[in-house]
Structure 1
Amino acid sequence: MALILGIETSCDETAAAVVKDGYEVLSSSVASQIAKHAAHGGVVPELAAREHLTALTPVLDGALREAGVTLAEIDAIAVTQGPGLIPALLVGLSFAKGLAMGNRIPYVGVNHFIGHIYGAFLDEANRALEDGASYPLLALVVSGGHTSLVLIGRDGKATALGGTIDDAAGEALDKGAKLLNLGYPGGPVMQRTAEGGDPHRFEFPRPLTGAAGKPLAPENRYNFSFSGIKTALLYHVKHHADESGRLPEALLRDTVASYQEAVVDVLTRKTLAAAKETGAKTIVVAGGVACNSVLRERFERLTPPGVRLRLAARKYCTDNAAMIGGLGYHYWKKREFSAFDIDSFARLPQITQIPFLG
């Protein structure tokens, strides 16, 4: 048995978790900073870092208490090394280094993006990752910072099929909400506002799908672009707003429903096309935007027979430390730990190997 302590501070959630043997989540403690950043309409990196400094110790204590273990019983510490906001990442990474050094516990810096993929397999009794029939596996990681398609083989070899060339899907939803003065965070409030609206009343663009009648360059077949949708919303609001600069309530619901539909349509269309072309046996949908009910329903309805669908549980879609601790277990098994001079990184590096396989 191995107990891994996970620590996550890549953005505006301070999180700690204890995970047993890579799958069983004994505790997951998260302190949200939403109220702090709402006044700014988005995450302020320096403010996020200061809040992490304040919250880390109480969150850690809460995770250990909930799991019923002490720090002396922890076998290894896994901490988010990147990608993310550097000021926020540095706080968590430094905290983990101090814990590891002071308590003589091995530690490892892990990739937050890969953690999201792994989060779809937490609490998994059947060990789907160990089932050869699950492969090849196609992962759609969709969040505020990433919209990417990664094909993963049974041996852990990974191929990035495509990613965002400008705005990620979550960023488009967040900025859409800000443009419409709906509040922060944008994703959940956009979904709530869209309820009861007509998703087909307005036709927002579907970039990089060939829907505009222009030939799609082969290199963009599985890439994503959401900046055009955002620009279309800006002009839509200018055209339909009343004297106060706002959209009437009914028109607002239809607008948000149509905007959300465009984002969901692009995500599902490209993912299902990639799954068909690659012969994927499993589709994984993870990341914060995977909480969206419309997106989840669309994949459940359109995923073809014979292809397994794994939607990450909502509690593991948004940033959390359980996915970090679970992923860290696989480094612990291989005794692959980090040196104390590693640094955080902001951007997603090229991924060619998945550490929980191979």
Structure 2
Amino acid sequence: MFRLRQLGIRCQTQILGRSYTSIRPLKVLGIETSCDDTSAAIVTSDRQILAEVVKGQQEMHEPMGGIVPTLASRGHSRNLPAVICETLDRAGLTVADLDAIAVTRGPGLPPCLPVGLNAAKTLAAVSKKPLIGVHHMEAHALTARLTTPHPSNLPSPMFPFMTLLISGGHTLLLTANDLGDYTQLGTTLDNAVGEAIDKTARLLNLEWIKGRRGGPGAALEQAALQGNPDRYMDRLPMPMLQRNKSVCGFSFSGLKTAVARLIEVEKVVDLSVSQDVSDMAAAFQLVCIRHIEQKLRLALDLEVVQNKKPLTALVVSGGVASNKLFRSR
């Protein structure tokens, strides 16, 4: 958003120099290849999403039990040209109609990021458009200001607000004070929550859910719907309950290891019994959510009570944020 605003100033000067009386919204093509989804969208500086296309790769990665970076890179190379063309078609635009090209520059999987970067650089160079490198985490933090309506047509939520990113690669909690001004409150000490969920789904031999919102995380969530979390709750450790209790950080490695032990060593969970699998999925999911809630309370106390920050909202983003139980709580 900050970079769009900068571009808007330059565009305003140029247009006013040609005696235009109003400024048209800027149109930006965004390209994303940081993990396994090949994505593109066209957004405007007045926060309109003109088109969005996402191409998944589940058929490539499910047989491998997880995301394989080199395979994902090949998938991006195959899918990205069609994804960009379809995005332009849906918006009814050509590259010449765009004002800038934006692309995820990191963090992300090393073999995957260059596919999008190279495509964006080529498009920008050939069409003589500005190139905008977008920080993956900053984009997650600010996306709500693009997608959340506000009665006065201002970006919403207003600064400052707290944002929690929970995904396959990251568990990050920070306060967004202003554009480009962020206070990191906590991050994972080992595994990201999404990674722990995906690996637990593999331990439970769950078949991936198909579709854009599918994958191993969705499979574990679906299995948990049929489960009783109380059956295994006392066998799973609450992360950071004793050590580092007052630290505003996250840890999921020990929880994931405990599930593996119950399945592979103690044989408490019989994978051939669907109820055992559902009960373990439900217990694991609930412990993950309670751990995140505990650290959120700690962070809110730090920022609101101790630091007296007038936070306007809590923004939750990332793939794990689609979990319906977490959203309901």
Matched residue of 1:36: which SS?
A: helix
Aligned: 1:250 with 2:291: no
Alpha-carbon displacement from aligned partner over 1:140-183 (angstroms, at most 9, x marks no partner): 00001000111121465211111001101000100001111113
Whether contact under 8 Å (2:150, 2:156) holds in the other structure is: no
Whichever residue aligns with residue 237 of structure 2, its letter is P
Q: Which residue of 2 aligns with 1:325?
A: none
Q: Could you list the per-position Cα deviations for residues 62-84 of structure 1 after superposition, in whole angstroms to 9, with x for gaps in the alignment?
A: 00010111110100010000001
1:80-119 to structure 2, matched below 5 A, reads 80-119=104-143
Q: Aligned partners of 1:158, 1:233: CA distance in 2, in Å?
A: 35
**Which residue, out of 248, 254, 259, partners 1:228?**
254
Unaligned regions of 5+ residues in structure 1, if any? 299-358
SS in 2 for 1:19: strand
Change beyond 3 A, Cα 1:127–1:272 = farther
- More relative contact order in 1 or in 2 (CA 8 Å, sep 6+)? 1
Residue 23, structure 1, aligned to residue 11, structure 2: no
Pairing of 1:104-253 with structure 2 (within 5 A): 104-126=128-150, 130=154, 134-154=158-178, 156-184=180-208, 185-203=215-233, 204-208=236-240, 210=241, 214-216=242-244, 218=246, 221-238=247-264, 239-240=266-267, 246-253=271-278
Between structure 1 and structure 2, the one with the greater Rg is 2
Structure 1 runs of 4+ with >4 Å offset: 127-133
Aligned to 1:17, the other structure's residue is in SS state strand
Separation in 2 of the partners of 1:131 and 1:60? 27
TM-score normalised by length of structure 1: 0.77
Cα deviation, 1:2-32, whole Å, max 9, x if unaligned, reads 0000000001111111001152111001111
Identity of aligned residues (%): 38
2: distance between equivalents of 1:125 and 1:259?
35
Q: In angstroms, what is the RMSD of aligned CA positions?
A: 2.0
Note the C-alpha offset of 1:133: 8.2
Contact 2:30-2:40 at 8 Å conserved across structures: yes
Alpha-carbon distance between aligned partners in 1 of 2:189 and 2:153, rounded to the nearest angstrom: 30
CA distance in 2 between partners of 1:61 and 1:15 (Å) = 11
Task: Give 1:284's aligned residue.
Answer: 315
Q: Residue 50 in 1 paired to residue 80 in 2?
A: no
- Structure 2 stretches of 5 or more lacking a match? 1-24, 209-214, 305-310
Contact map agreement 1:121 1:128 (CA 8 A) in 2: no
Letter of the 2:278 counterpart? R
Q: How many residues align?
A: 290
> Helix, strand or coil: the match of 1:148?
strand
Q: Deviations over 1:70-125 (max 9, x none)?
A: 11010001000000111110011001000000111111111111112222233333
